[in-house]
């Protein structure tokens, strides 16, 4: 009794020393027969995993050999596990090759090691050569395939496993459902759901959350919610699944409700929760709420996580507070390429191209290597500032110096860049010759450029391409019709309108919103049940006369409907962003900047009108539309009429 107690204490002390890397000290202090006990090494090896130190592993390895414990199967599996976890698959494979007796356990360890390294080929080889497998073996392989988005292969392996008579556990089912989510395969997902119910895993926490995630990722939010609501107990993962599902399906208001309910239910939000909730604040541009969640993230100790900081940078930028974006970035020590890209993108979004490029240069000086996301942010910044030469230079740098393959998004930025600066032919040539397949967005980008440069001939030619790619997109019809209208091609205008009517395409309604004292107010054209509608209407009427005195002329040319001029003017005057701005001017004290968000692009008339309003009322007005930020001040806009 006494002896075993003392040897346990010895093992504990030795383990502590070794896990601190003090092997020599340990060896010097305990020169007893302990060193020939295999169970000691099993302990030591396990204790050393968190240190992830290869030299420590190698030292232990040679000790094991000299002590004669290397033929013990537990010791060798622990050693194999240590090498795998550290990521030294070469040493792991050599050791595996010399094992006198390999068992399922050793093979599973090696497969997991290869999977973690992303070397699925080697993992598969070990898997194929195994004479015998268990559920953990299948799990390792299925999880690995799904993790690297070989979803179909993962599901295929699952069927094979099932046919061979293995019963899946919660981890298998979790991976399989993630595979279905990755494929957005609702029918495969439903089959697995039925199977889950049959096996009785319906109320399992891991499986339940994966099931909900699968539904939500496939766009079926209601079914996902049903699964979560039927779970007898929920954990943080289940709450996060629900919150992220709402965020991804565009139900930003629902996100905040669920977040509050989660806290009421006694759960502490974690970094995953904060990323989802902050993204929703960013989507809704609810600055007040965003600041509150930021404070809560600090309190929860999640504000130094890269993903959270990156979301904060983008949230502040999208709420119109570029300074706070920069502050969130500066407060973080040792920013990585993700954060640099986020802050570069924030500057681009606000049309501050020069500064975005300066940041990029600083990033290079700090020895960080830009990736395709960084270049996308840079190209975006250039295209929004009309910096054509610089943009083309960066595109070449990306391809030639960095050896990165441009994606469709990069080409879209360059087409935008060329198009805005009037090089329409070049832009079209680029679309027709690029190695990736063109989508509706890139064609629409060129179409917008045709509008800016009044090239109705090209618009007519490429209009077909645009409408073929996305016949449901109302914005393209409106754009095309406007181009023809300003070139006075009434025949073309009526053709576009007929096509739109025939295909039953509805114009997406314009919605503007703003936040005052943490409350969000929404405005739509023609909705006169708003609070203070009468006051807004009157205010706009007075404002309009004052604007006209300053030289404002309503641009009725961009109104699509068939109506007389007076009606058109009334219509224009009640665009949602004008309603929102009037509401803000009535309800906020002088000198406070007005921040308004819009789901579509600001129309030409509103853009002109807001310039006058900013001057007459001496207010800074910040409008975020579908494509960028407009900072209106003293009768000018930061976009330089490029949008």
Question: Could you tell me the smallest distance in angstroms from the CB atom of residue 575 to Zn ion?
Answer: 3
> Which is closer to Zn ion, CB of 498 or CB of 565?
565
> Which is closer to Zn ion, CB of 133 or CB of 607?
607
> Which is closer to Zn ion, CB of 191 or CB of 641?
641
Question: Which region, judged by CB under 5 A, interacts with Zn ion, from 352-360, 389-397, 489-497, 602-610?
Answer: 602-610
Question: Could you tell me the smallest distance in angstroms from the CB atom of residue 596 to Zn ion?
Answer: 12
Question: Could you tell me the smallest distance in angstroms from the CB atom of residue 513 to Zn ion?
Answer: 15
Contact criterion met (CB below 8 Å) for 359 and 340: yes
Secondary structure letter of residue 507 according to DSSP: P
Q: Is 546 helix (H, G, I), strand (E, B) or coil?
A: helix
Question: Could you tell me the smallest distance in angstroms from the CB atom of residue 414 to Zn ion?
Answer: 22
Contact criterion met (CB below 8 Å) for 412 and 383: no
Contact criterion met (CB below 8 Å) for 395 and 406: yes
Q: Which of 234, 318, 497, 630 binds Zn ion (CB under 5 A)?
A: 630
> Which is closer to Zn ion, CB of 360 or CB of 629?
629
Q: Which of 242, 442, 479, 637 binds Zn ion (CB under 5 A)?
A: 637
Q: Which of 350, 410, 575, 595 binds Zn ion (CB under 5 A)?
A: 575
Give the count of residues interacting with Zn ion (CB under 5 A): 6
> Binding pattern to Zn ion, positions 327-356, x when CB under 5 A?
------------------------------
- What is the token pair recorded at 577? 């962003």
Question: Could you tell me the smallest distance in angstroms from the CB atom of residue 560 to Zn ion?
Answer: 12
Question: Which region, judged by CB under 5 A, interacts with Zn ion, from 58-66, 268-276, 331-339, 575-583?
Answer: 575-583
C-alpha to C-alpha distances, 431 to 385, 389, 445, nearest whole angstrom:
21, 19, 11
Binding of Zn ion by 631 (CB under 5 A) = no
Question: Could you tell me the smallest distance in angstroms from the CB atom of residue 593 to Zn ion?
Answer: 15
Q: Which of 206, 315, 606, 621 binds Zn ion (CB under 5 A)?
A: 606
Question: Which region, judged by CB under 5 A, interacts with Zn ion, from 94-102, 454-462, 487-495, 632-640?
Answer: 632-640
Instruction: Return the axis-axis angle of helices 287-299 and 306-318, rounded to nearest 10°.
Output: 160
Whose tokens are 């939000």? That residue is 269
Secondary structure letter of residue 434 according to DSSP: -
Binding of Zn ion by 255 (CB under 5 A) = no
Question: Could you tell me the smallest distance in angstroms from the CB atom of residue 631 to Zn ion?
Answer: 8
DSSP states of 272-341: HHHHHHHHHHHHHT-HHHHHHHHHHHHHTT-TTSHHHHHHHHHHHHHTT-HHHHHHHHHTSTT--HHHHH
> Which is closer to Zn ion, CB of 257 or CB of 354?
354
> Which is closer to Zn ion, CB of 217 or CB of 628?
628
> Which is closer to Zn ion, CB of 228 or CB of 639?
639
Element (H, E) at 466: helix 456-469
- What is the token pair recorded at 9? 């204490």
**CA–CA dist 613, 603 (Å, integer):** 15
Binding of Zn ion by 603 (CB under 5 A) = yes
Question: Could you tell me the smallest distance in angstroms from the CB atom of residue 643 to Zn ion?
Answer: 5
**CA–CA dist 286, 291 (Å, integer):** 9
Query: In which order are the strands placed within the sheet that holds 519-524?
Result: 519-524, 511-516, 594-598, 621-624, 629-633, 636-637
Question: Could you tell me the smallest distance in angstroms from the CB atom of residue 528 to Zn ion?
Answer: 17
Question: Could you tell me the smallest distance in angstroms from the CB atom of residue 569 to Zn ion?
Answer: 12
Binding of Zn ion by 639 (CB under 5 A) = yes
Phi, psi dihedrals of residue 503, rounded to the nearest 5°: -85, 5
Q: Is 183 helix (H, G, I), strand (E, B) or coil?
A: helix
The residues binding Zn ion (CB under 5 A) are: 575, 603, 606, 630, 637, 639
């Amino acid at each position: 009794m006494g002896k075993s107690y003392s040897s346990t204490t010895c093992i504990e002390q030795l383990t502590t020393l070794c896990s601190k890397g003090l092997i020599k000290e340990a060896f010097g202090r305990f020169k007893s027969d302990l060193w020939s006990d295999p169970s000691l090494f099993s302990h030591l090896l396990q204790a050393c995993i968190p240190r992830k130190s290869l030299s420590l592993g190698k030292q232990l390895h040679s000790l094991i050999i000299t002590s004669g414990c290397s033929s013990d199967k537990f010791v060798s599996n622990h050693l194999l596990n240590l090498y795998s976890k550290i990521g030294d698959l070469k040493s792991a494979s050599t050791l595996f090759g010399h094992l006198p007796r390999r068992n399922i356990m050793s093979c599973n360890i090696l497969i997991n090691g290869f999977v973690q390294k992303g070397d699925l080929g080697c993992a598969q080889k070990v898997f194929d050569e195994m004479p015998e497998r268990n559920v953990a073996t299948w799990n390792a392989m299925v999880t690995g395939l799904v993790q690297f988005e070989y979803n179909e292969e993962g599901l295929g392996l699952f069927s094979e496993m099932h046919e061979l008579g293995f019963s899946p556990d919660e981890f298998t089912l979790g991976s399989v459902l993630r595979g279905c989510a990755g494929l957005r395969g609702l029918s495969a997902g439903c089959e697995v759901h039925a199977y889950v119910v049959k096996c009785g895993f319906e109320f399992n926490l891991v499986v339940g959350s994966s099931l909900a995630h699968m539904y939500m990722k496939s766009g079926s939010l209601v079914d996902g919610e049903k699964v979560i609501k039927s779970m007898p107990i929920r954990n943080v993962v289940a709450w996060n699944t629900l919150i992220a599902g709402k965020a991804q399906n565009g139900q930003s208001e629902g996100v905040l409700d669920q977040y509050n309910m989660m806290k009421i239910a006694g759960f502490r939000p974690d970094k995953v929760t904060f990323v989802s909730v902050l993204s929703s604040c960013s989507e809704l541009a609810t600055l007040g709420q965003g600041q509150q969640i930021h404070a809560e993230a600090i309190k929860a100790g999640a504000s130094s996580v890269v993903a959270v900081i990156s979301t904060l940078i983008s949230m502040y930028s999208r709420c119109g507070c570029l300074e706070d974006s920069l502050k969130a970035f500066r407060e973080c020590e040792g920013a990585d390429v993700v954060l640099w890209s986020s802050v570069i993108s924030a500057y681009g979004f606000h049309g501050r191209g020069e500064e975005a490029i300066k940041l990029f240069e600083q990033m290079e000086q700090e020895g960080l290597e830009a990736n395709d996301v960084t270049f996308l942010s840079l190209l975006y910044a250039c295209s929004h500032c009309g910096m054509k030469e610089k943009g083309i230079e960066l595109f070449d740098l990306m391809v030639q110096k960095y050896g990165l393959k441009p994606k469709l998004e990069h080409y879209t930025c360059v087409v935008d860049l060329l198009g805005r600066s009037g090089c329409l032919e070049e832009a079209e040539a680029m679309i027709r010759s690029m190695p990736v397949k063109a989508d509706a967005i890139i064609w629409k980008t060129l179409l917008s450029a045709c509008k800016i440069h009044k090239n109705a001939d090209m618009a007519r030619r490429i209009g077909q391409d645009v409408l073929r790619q996305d016949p449901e997109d109302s914005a393209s019809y409106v754009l095309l019709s406007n181009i023809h209208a300003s070139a006075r091609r009434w025949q073309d205008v009526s053709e576009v309108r007929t096509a739109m009517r025939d295909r039953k395409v509805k114009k997406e309604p314009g919605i503007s919103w703003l936040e005052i004292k943490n409350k969000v107010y929404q405005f739509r054209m023609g909705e006169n049940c708003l609070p203070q509608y009468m006051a807004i209407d009157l205010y706009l009427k007075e404002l309009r006369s004052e604007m006209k005195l300053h030289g404002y002329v309503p641009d009725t040319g961009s109104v699509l409907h068939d109506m007389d001029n007076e009606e058109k003017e009334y219509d224009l005057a009640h665009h949602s962003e004008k309603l929102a701005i009037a509401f803000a001017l009535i309800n906020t004290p002088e000198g406070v900047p007005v921040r308004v968000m819009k789901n579509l692009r600001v129309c030409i008339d509103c853009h002109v009108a807001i310039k006058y309003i900013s001057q007459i009322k001496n207010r800074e007005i910040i409008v975020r539309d579908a494509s960028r930020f407009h900072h209106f001040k003293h009768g000018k806009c930061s976009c330089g009429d490029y949008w």
